[in-house]
Each structure stands twice: as C-alpha cells, then as structure tokens.
Amino acid sequence: MKDILWIAVAVAVLSLMVSGCSKTQGKYSPEEMKAIPLASKDGLPQPTGGITLNVESETLTTKELALLLEPQLKPLAQRGDLMAFRQQARPAFYSAMRSRITDILLYKEAKKKASENIDDALDKAVESELSRFLAAYDYNRALADNALRSMGYDWKSFRDFQRKLILTQSYLSKEFTDKRPISHGEMVEYYNQHKEVFGWDGKIQFRLIDIVAEKLPNEWVNESETKETAAVRLMVEILDKLKAGEDFGKLAEKYSQGAKAEQGGLWPPITIGGRSLSAPYDVLETKAAAMDVNEVAGPLVSEGHLMIIKLESKQAAGSKDFRDVQNAIEQNLQIQYRRLQYDKMVDKLSARADILQTGQFVDQCVTDAYALWSEKK
C-alpha cells in the first residue's frame, strides 16, 4: 500500500513543478530526488497527551513518537529488561524526533517561500493524489477508508499530509538547483574505491557422486566384503565407467548416496572463496576451483565419504569496465553532493529554530513508552 502511495506522491511532485508553482525549477531528476533523506512519511497521529516539545508553532508529544515506534520497540519492552530497552529505544526515539522536527521545519520554510498562487496548484495536485489513492482500491470507498485508518489517517488528515508533502518536495527540488562539476579523475578514484559495487563474485557449479559405506544397500556388498571395502570397490568401478564415457549424471542417480542424487548429483552454484560448504563437503570448493570445466576428479575422502566430482561451470570474479559505469558513478557523486546540501539546510533550520531540551524529551519518551508497553503483555 505504501508503494502505491509513494508512486502517486512522486507523480504529484512532478505535476506540481510543471504546473507553475514557481518559475524556478530544479535540475535534479525524480530518481535523484528520491535519495533525499527526508523524514518518515508514514501516518503521523495528532499530538495528544504526554510531555511536549515545541517546534516553532507545532507541538510534539511523547505519545506521538511512541505510536510511531510501537511496532519496532514494543516487543523489546515486553521482555522486561529496562536497560536493554533504553539502549535500543533511545537512538530510535532520537531519530524519530529529529525526523519529525525536520518535517516541520522544512514545511514551514517551504510555506514561507511559496509563491502567492501556490494554493490552486496544490489543491489540484492533492485532489489528483486522492483520486489515485481511491483508484488503487477500484474506487471502493470502504476499502480505501480501511487502508487510511490502518495508516493513522482519515480523509482530512490524509489530504493535509499530501499537501504538506507535495509543497515540501517541490521546495526541495527548487533549492537543489546546482550540480557541481565532476572531474574524470574523481570518478576514476570512486570507481577504484568501490569496485566491489560494480563487480561480481566467482562462481562454480559441480556434480557429485557421494559414496557412504554405511549407507550402501546390502545387495551391493559381496559376502567376502565389509561395507567399507565394498565402497572402495564401487568407487573404482564408477571411475572405470566414467573413463569409458558413461554419463556422470546418470551414474550419480544410480549410485550416489548424496542429497542431490535425484538431480544427477548437480549442486547449486557456490561462490568461490565463500566457504559456504560444511563438512564433509568443505573440501569440494577448493578442489572444484582448481579444476577445468568438464574435468572429473576423485576419489576425494572426507569423514567417511568417498566422492567423485565433475566441474560443470566456472565463472571468474570480475568487475564492470569503468566506461560502462561512468554515468552511474557521476550520478552517485551528485547524490552525495545533494545530501550534503540537504544536511546543511536542515542544520541551518534547526539552529535557527533553537529547539531546547531535546535530550530530556527523548529520555521521557523512553520512560513513558516502557511504562506503557511493558504492562501490556
């Protein structure tokens, strides 16, 4: 449901910018705008009860933030360990508080700098979003009502939320109008420092015939043999069959006692160097990595298992060429620059707002939430 909501919001932001909120228009793409670390966009309840924190003309309460964090933190409170709860809850409440403060300050600034004819454009964008939201539920008003309630909204508060969000996004898109020049050398340095992002791990895939003496059917063991000697004899016979050109997969289906016998002994691909195989099969990764495709090796002995391996495929580790990812690197560097712009803007607004006693407020949030949730088991 949230995905539908945010796709609609993104469309509304673009339509608002086109409709003429201001003659100045941002140069960033919608994809770049999504990377702005805006605060939580989930349903925000109306402030009610508890100690409050004043943010310009709006008020935050401990109860408001507790409602936002309840799904995340309530199970921890119910365990009854106050110290552990404080250690995890305090950073979460601080982050939620900062996000709400940022929402409020950005909206106030956006409203202050909006053009005089903004209301008509906003009304049209909001109505479009409400219509899109209703369409997502096939215009079934009852279903849409239930969805809004689950997010903490009614239609009025949802309309207000959309209005604030669209105005704030439009304001940010126009504030971040400059892209800094990115040099070729800077992009090469970024590429060398983040090669793993543009690369892939080496992969191998093999087939395995796995003979386990204690699992041999009695009819495979001659009268003069133990199961151990029978396993060795069987291994030699299988190797002779492979040398004669018989199909590895069919021999695995017939003789292997391994878990993949029904699949012709074919194991899923594994990462070279990933050490994903546990004993007794951990010896196979190193062996397979040193083999050529279609090569057969064995017997390998490990913890009572006699094994024959055939390498099916091998892909060496590598990375994309710089030329193939140059545009992506440039965009990442621009996004980093825009995040820096955003952080500076938020810090400047916060300093100007001069919000006091945030630490005391967060501590009270933690205390109130623990008292509330630890009693409701």
Instruction: Report, as an integer, the average pLDDT of 307-326.
Output: 91
Instruction: Report, as an integer, the average pLDDT of 310-338.
Output: 91
| CATH 3.10.50.40 placement within the chain | 202-316
> What is the enclosing helix (H) or strand (E) of 207?
strand 203-212
The reported pLDDT for the residue numbered 206 is 96
Residue 341 in this model has a pLDDT that exceeds 50: yes
* Percent of the chain whose predicted confidence (pLDDT) is above 70: 86
Using DSSP's 3-state secondary structure scheme, residue 97 falls into helix
The reported pLDDT for the residue numbered 59 is 85
Handedness of CA 311, 317, 321, 327 (dihedral sign): positive
Q: Where are the alpha helices (DSSP H) in the chain?
A: 2-18, 30-33, 62-77, 82-113, 118-135, 141-150, 155-175, 184-193, 227-243, 248-255, 282-289, 322-353, 358-373
Q: Model confidence over 259-309: pLDDT tens digits?
A: 899 999 999 999 988 888 888 999 999 899 999 999 999 899 999 899 999
Q: Model confidence over 37-76: pLDDT tens digits?
A: 444 444 333 333 456 788 877 888 888 899 889 999 999 9
Cα–Cα distance list, 33 to 169, 296, 342 (Å): 8, 54, 11
Residue 36 in this model has a pLDDT that exceeds 60: no
Q: Model confidence over 164-186: pLDDT tens digits?
A: 888 988 888 888 777 789 999 99
The reported pLDDT for the residue numbered 134 is 92
Residue carrying structure tokens 């083999």 = 291
The reported pLDDT for the residue numbered 7 is 30
Task: Domain 202-316: give its CATH code.
Answer: 3.10.50.40
Q: Are 163 and 126 in contact (CB under 8 A)?
A: yes
Residue 112 in this model has a pLDDT that exceeds 80: yes
The reported pLDDT for the residue numbered 319 is 84
d(CA 230, CA 224): 9
